Structure 1
Amino acid sequence: MTLPVETFFLHPEAQGTLQQQIQQMIARGILSGRFQKGEKLPSTRKLAAHLGVSRITVTIAYTELQANDYLVSKGRSGYYVSENAPSPPTFTATPEGTDAVDWHRAIGQKFSGGRSLSKPQDWARFRYPFIYGQADPTLFDHANWRLCALQALGQRDFNALTTDYFDQDDPQLIEFIARHILPRRGITANPDQILITLGAQNALWLTTQVLLTQRRRAVLEDPCYPALRDILSQSRCHVTPVRVDQDGLPPYAIPPDTDVIFTTPSHQCPTNATMPMERRRALLERAQEIEALIVEDDYEFEMSFLKSPSPALKSLDSDGRVIYVGSFSKSLFPGLRLGYLVGSQPFIREARALRASVLRHPPGHIQRTTAYFLSLGHYDALIRRMGAALQERRKAMEAALADNGLQISGRGYFGGSSFWMRAPREINTSDLARRLQARSVLIEPGHAFFAGSHQPSNYFRLAYSSIPSNRIREGVNLIAEEMAVVA
């Protein structure tokens, strides 16, 4: 590869002759690692014209660098960074506090330090990856997704690919969500009541920014999705965690001064509890009584392979009190980063304006590719295939857990892709996870899901969405062996 001539410039305060300055410039590029061994330098004519110097000056500089083994000449092809050139030094990170800037004073608000979940980037190389939310390449429809992507990149969809929608979204994707996705959850919505987001987490952030201030109070489930707790903390609103039971969030425990209630009624995260219809109605009544809004995260309704899911809480809402959050991260793949918000027009209008000021809109070609994949029937076929595979894996997991005497604390009533587990009280599942990782087993410790400074340390999540059925028993056996060592 030829190095772009635009990356070369002479510093106005540099010392020495022009020839020396050019030599120093190239040597620094090599020593810093910007110029890699084997890369081609611009021709002497191009570099001279770019720098505004004579060609002979550049030629002499190249020749000197060649003599010092920084460059090598390859006949009429030109000059290249020599394979024998000095290697860039291995620099250690700059120690904190060496900047002239006082960053403790300069940073007005901190966003780090939360208890978000972490997963190894190379999780697929582990033999027993019991981790949640990752796409299984053996189940995904690669061929049809590729065809839909090619179609979205074609000339007919040039406008969808290149247009700046400003604060709008792909009408084809909006139409499919309104006419096909939402009716399955019992929800009716107009296009101006739907907003595409960069996944469910972005939808929750937009909702928090629009609805909550430092004077308002939010209720969230405990345990809950850790990223939601971080989002609420960053908004500086008052936060009240409410411990869930076997039926999810108890309405009677919600404080009367609550402004917004965040809940996962169909598939509580992470316990997998499903809120019964009677409690859903009670939750709506409680919200109406205290004049609170409800944010419903319906994150895994597609994985209902045991029986049809209950209607969404939003479908029972008669006064526009529920804001609905949906996502394609679990049903398609998390890297897609597409979700959607459904709510009353005044709320969606503000969320749309906020989104436009931050990122304008999710990429048009991603929206159009997804619209094709949904509308051509590939999405429904994928959901059926995933449901069959997850049901088989769930049976294998239940049998292996029962045979090893491991305690399931929560399992999805309609399906899902994970079990919420409880180990004996003396077992710290963070330590357990580290020991298991050395045996090529990945589990998710549960402490990050809980609020407060004294989280239970003996819970963990076992997912079966990314592990084949024939490896589940072996992996569970290893988990039981490690737990027995401690017990």
Structure 2
Amino acid sequence: MIAVESFLLDPLQEGTLQHRIRQMVAEGILSGRLLPGERMPSSRKLAAHLCVSRITVTLAYAELVADDYLQAEGRSGYFVSRTAPRPGKAQQRTSGAPSTVDWARMLGHRPPSGDLNRGKPRNWREFSYPFIYGQADPSLFDHANWRLCMMQSLGLKDFDRMSDDQFEQDDPGLLEYIARHSLPRRGILARPDEILVTLGAQNALWLAAQLLLNQRRSAVIEEPGYPGLRDILTQTRCRLVPVPVGPRGLLAKDLPAQLDVLFCTPSHHCPTGATMPLDARHALLKAAKDRDFLIVEDDYEFEIAQGRAPLPALKSLDRSGRVIHVGSFSKSLFPGLRLGFMVGPAPFITEARALRATVLRHPPGLLQRAAARFLSLGHYDVMLRRLSRSFAARREVMLAAIGAEGLTVASDVENGGSSLWMRTPDGVTATTLTKALQPQGVLIESGLPFFGAADAPDRFYRIAYSSIASERIPEGISRIARTIKTLQHSR
């Protein structure tokens, strides 16, 4: 039933009460707010709510029935007619009146308003060959145990922790797991006052940028690199310096003379997948100490290192307290979870906690508590092993198919992860290839959004194997290869 509280008469509207009620209901249907088949409030309830006589509402309803906006069903009441006029684009309204404000002039701070989804269709699951990064494969997720942990977190034992406003504090069980299990795997030892739970890595990067940067400071980012980070840093109005990334990741010798903060992804570079070797990590830390700059380390896909032991995180090698470490459970559990963490010296985490509190207090207690249970009971470790085995198998299938079709991999293929960075042949742009593949049910990601320069090369694309079953990979790769040949011949 449609709530009676959703109806409000416009006091400035002219006409009789009966006409105004009819107009109010008709506009609700034409705007799409009231849907076919939904039950209307009874004439008695609506009359009491609007403070009018019942006969006025009854007569308005009768007119609406006559005009096929409503239909009466015996003693069941009135319903929005299933054959009522449908809303058109011109009739849809998102607010009571169009804004006359010049928002371009009024906004003092303008965040990026482009395609935040980077061209990935939201209906990606409808595609037969979705080689897109960052989405969960339901077949690999432990639904049963996650559901059980959510239900247990709603129980009386955990109700206070889940329901109370904890102000700026995080769930102690989740902090304990991060400190005792997640961080030691990366070689990091940290106290609870050096850890902050965030709404994924994106939230952690935003907090770090807000605290460390301003218009007078400079930041170095990887080129190509994570587009979301570029958007965040642009908002700080800092001086942004992109540094090219090679097969060994970002190198200290390539850094500019002046910088305040360096943002990098040493575990698996985004998007090429390059892993920074140990000597390059030590060189980067030495440069940070000698030249007095900070490092924000995005622990990108750390736990998806197939076939080798992961290298120690920059934070674990840091002896001068210059590294802020950012991690996330979103990719290894599921993207919609939006839980991550940041680790740094206690004074920095204190300020980050205070800044977080001004925006959202803390991530939802229910999610923190359920995640703490899921992690501490070992379900996460089991799922992570299953995820790694599956990704390794899919990677082998993908590399075999790529070799058979003669496609070009543009990055190191030995570093695990969940995607490959590819290059098109001469004369074929990645943008054209991406568009040409979609009607064939194939989704790939153009590499252009990962570059900040206006003259960036349109020759790179990313194909992920996290969201596609092994048996579909060969045909999907074959379609990519055939489409490239077609584009080459049509030049």
Q: TM-score by structure 1 length? A: 0.95
Residue identity (%): 57
Q: In the superposition, relative to structure 1, how do residues 92 and 428 fare at CA in structure 2: closer, same or farther (>3 Å)?
A: farther
**Structure 1 unaligned blocks of 5 or more:** none
Corresponding letter in the other structure for 1:475: G
Alignment of 1:255-294 (within 5 A): 255-294=256-295
1:109 aligns with 2:101: no
1:125 aligns with 2:143: no
Deviation string for 1:238-265 (max 9, x for gaps)? 0111111221111012123210011111
Whole-Å separation in 2 of the counterparts to 1:426 and 1:400 = 23
Whole-Å separation in 2 of the counterparts to 1:272 and 1:70 = 57
Secondary structure (helix, strand or coil) at the match of 1:438 reads helix
Deviation string for 1:1-59 (max 9, x for gaps)? x2222122333233333333333333333333333333222222222222222333333
Contact 1:273/1:413 (<8 A) preserved? no
Deviation string for 1:186-244 (max 9, x for gaps)? 10001111111111111111100000010001011111111111111111000111111
Secondary structure (helix, strand or coil) at the match of 2:366 reads helix
Alignment of 1:331-370 (within 5 A): 331-370=332-371
1:486 aligns with 2:487: yes
Corresponding letter in the other structure for 1:38: G
Whole-Å separation in 2 of the counterparts to 1:486 and 1:166 = 57
Whole-Å separation in 1 of the counterparts to 2:458 and 2:23 = 57
Which 10-residue stretch deviates more, 293-302 or 477-486?
477-486
Structure 1 stretches of 4+ moved >4 Å = 113-116
Whole-Å separation in 1 of the counterparts to 2:377 and 2:352 = 30
Deviation string for 1:247-304 (max 9, x for gaps)? 1111012123210011111211112111111111110010011100001111211111
Match of 1:192 in 2: 193
Alignment of 1:380-399 (within 5 A): 380-399=381-400
Which 10-residue stretch deviates more, 369-378 or 125-134?
125-134
Q: CA deviation at 1:481?
A: 1.3
Contact 2:391/2:466 (<8 A) preserved? yes
Whole-Å separation in 2 of the counterparts to 1:387 and 1:121 = 26
Corresponding letter in the other structure for 1:74: E
Contact 2:127/2:441 (<8 A) preserved? yes
Q: CA deviation at 1:175?
A: 0.6
Contact 1:267/1:412 (<8 A) preserved? no
Alignment of 1:5-84 (within 5 A): 5-84=4-83
Q: CA deviation at 1:412?
A: 5.2
Match of 1:471 in 2: 472
Contact 1:308/1:414 (<8 A) preserved? no
Corresponding letter in the other structure for 1:121: R
Secondary structure (helix, strand or coil) at the match of 2:440 reads coil
Corresponding letter in the other structure for 1:360: R
Contact 2:247/2:412 (<8 A) preserved? no
Q: In the superposition, relative to structure 1, how do residues 114 and 226 fare at CA in structure 2: closer, same or farther (>3 Å)?
A: farther
Contact 1:408/1:421 (<8 A) preserved? yes
Contact 2:274/2:415 (<8 A) preserved? no
Contact 2:445/2:461 (<8 A) preserved? yes
**Structure 2 unaligned blocks of 5 or more:** none
Q: CA deviation at 1:154?
A: 1.6
Corresponding letter in the other structure for 2:274: A
Match of 2:218 in 1: 217
Q: In the superposition, relative to structure 1, how do residues 14 and 194 fare at CA in structure 2: closer, same or farther (>3 Å)?
A: same
Corresponding letter in the other structure for 1:185: R
Contact 2:31/2:92 (<8 A) preserved? no
Whole-Å separation in 2 of the counterparts to 1:74 and 1:342 = 62
Match of 1:238 in 2: 239
Q: CA deviation at 1:463?
A: 1.1
